[in-house]
């Protein structure tokens, strides 16, 4: 691990000021991705700005037709929160599938969204639920936020404060977990929004989360969904592209089956 200075922020403004003062610094929340990267010298920083004690990043609140979740909320907190379980159970279910108990106890919503790992779970929920990423500087629609593998619309000194999810009529999430890491080899989040839109978001199968338009159209018309056709399907040591396409179709079917017994 390369040497760095550790800074514990006492407030959101102080954290932002430090990030601007130190261009090679990085914010630290749960550290589930950043800390291993530092340990293996895959990343180098001048300063770590610890956000873990910022009250501004905490809280879960129903706001009309949406649910606002603070960026500092840990996966286990999202999974076990009574309001999430009653208002958006599909999201609680997703959070409970992330990694393992240790990861769920430390990892945060904001950290996962900001990192944008192509096999992460939350990005699929954000796209399917037409969510808005709230930062300390602006609001960014989920459709404009995810730019590619580990890439987002965030500026270097910009911090996620919360995510605002639309509360759908119903929703579900199905995931095929990698047996070692728990990451999604294929994950599909489906949602019927309050305005009647049918949304299907896929994670784990390509270099970034995407909406499966053909499945959305077929589902909305009550038709059978054909196989996934996508030029960017991953083809690696974990699974060939053809197998991943099969997994996506299977996870979509499993998510639809969940809607028969649960509403989100």
State the DSSP string of 201-233: EEESSSSS-EE-HHHHHHHHHTPPP-----TT-
- Which residues are registered as beta bridge partners of 49? 7, 27
Q: Return the pLDDT at 50.
A: 95
pLDDT in tens, the chain (264 residues): 889 999 999 999 999 999 999 999 999 999 888 888 899 888 899 999 999 999 999 999 999 999 999 999 999 999 999 999 999 999 999 999 999 999 999 999 999 999 999 999 999 999 999 999 999 999 999 999 999 999 999 999 999 999 999 999 999 999 999 888 888 999 999 999 999 999 999 999 999 999 999 999 999 999 999 889 888 999 998 899 999 999 999 999 999 999 977 544
Q: What is the pLDDT of residue 195?
A: 95
> Of 131, 139, 262, whose CA–CA distance to 193 is shortest?
131
Q: What is the CA radius of gyration of the chain?
A: 18
In 3D space, the residue among 190, 20, 158, 242 whose CA is nearest the CA of residue 145 turns out to be 158
188 in Cβ contact with 259 (< 8 Å): no
Helices (H), the chain: 12-21, 34-39, 75-80, 82-87, 89-96, 101-106, 109-115, 122-128, 142-145, 213-221, 241-259
* Residue that the structure tokens 């800390």 belong to: 35
Distances from the Cα of 16 to the Cαs of 22, 73, 112, 198, in angstroms? 10, 19, 19, 37
Tokens at 115, concatenated: 């990192």
- Provide the pairing of β-strand 47-50 with 151-152: unpaired
* Alpha-carbon separation of residue 216 from 61, 120, 201 (angstroms): 29, 21, 9
Q: What is the pTM of this model?
A: 0.94
Closest of 47, 27, 31 to residue 39, by C-alpha: 31
pLDDT for res 264: 44
Q: Output phi, psi for 201, to 5 deg.
A: -120, 140
User: What does the block give as tokens for 215?
Assistant: 């499945």
Q: Report pLDDT for 33.
A: 84
Picking from 125, 103, 80, the residue whose alpha carbon sits closest to that of residue 29 is 103
Phi, psi of 146 (to 5 degrees): -85, 115
| Phi, psi dihedrals of residue 165, rounded to the nearest 5° | -100, 140
The gap between the terminal CA atoms of the chain, to the nearest Å, is: 43
At residue 32, the pLDDT reads 87
């Amino acid at each position: 691990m390369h040497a760095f200075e550790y800074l514990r922020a006492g407030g959101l403004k102080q954290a932002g000021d430090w990030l601007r003062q130190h261009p090679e610094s990085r914010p630290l929340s749960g550290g589930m991705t950043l800390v291993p990267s530092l340990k293996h010298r895959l990343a180098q920083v001048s300063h770590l700005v610890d956000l873990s004690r910022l009250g501004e990043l905490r809280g879960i609140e129903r706001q009309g037709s949406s649910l606002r979740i603070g960026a500092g909320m840990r996966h286990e907190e999202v999974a076990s929160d009574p309001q999430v379980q009653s208002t958006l159970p599909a999201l609680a279910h997703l959070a409970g599938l992330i990694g393992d108990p240790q990861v769920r106890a430390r990892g945060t919503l904001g950290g996962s969204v900001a990192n944008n790992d192509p096999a992460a779970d939350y990005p699929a929920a954000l796209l399917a639920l037409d969510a808005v990423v709230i930062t300390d500087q602006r609001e960014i629609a989920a459709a404009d936020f995810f730019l590619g593998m580990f890439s987002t619309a965030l500026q270097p000194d910009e911090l996620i404060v919360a995510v605002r999810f639309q509360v759908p009529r119903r929703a579900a999430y199905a995931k095929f977990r990698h047996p070692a890491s728990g990451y999604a080899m294929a994950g599909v989040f489906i949602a019927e929004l309050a305005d009647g839109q049918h949304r299907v978001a896929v994670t784990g199968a390509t270099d970034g989360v995407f909406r499966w338009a053909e499945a959305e159209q077929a589902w909305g018309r009550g038709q059978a969904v054909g196989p996934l056709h996508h030029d960017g399907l991953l083809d690696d040591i974990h699974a060939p592209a053809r197998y991943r396409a099969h997994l996506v179709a299977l996870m979509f079917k499993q998510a639809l089956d969940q809607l028969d017994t649960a509403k989100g």
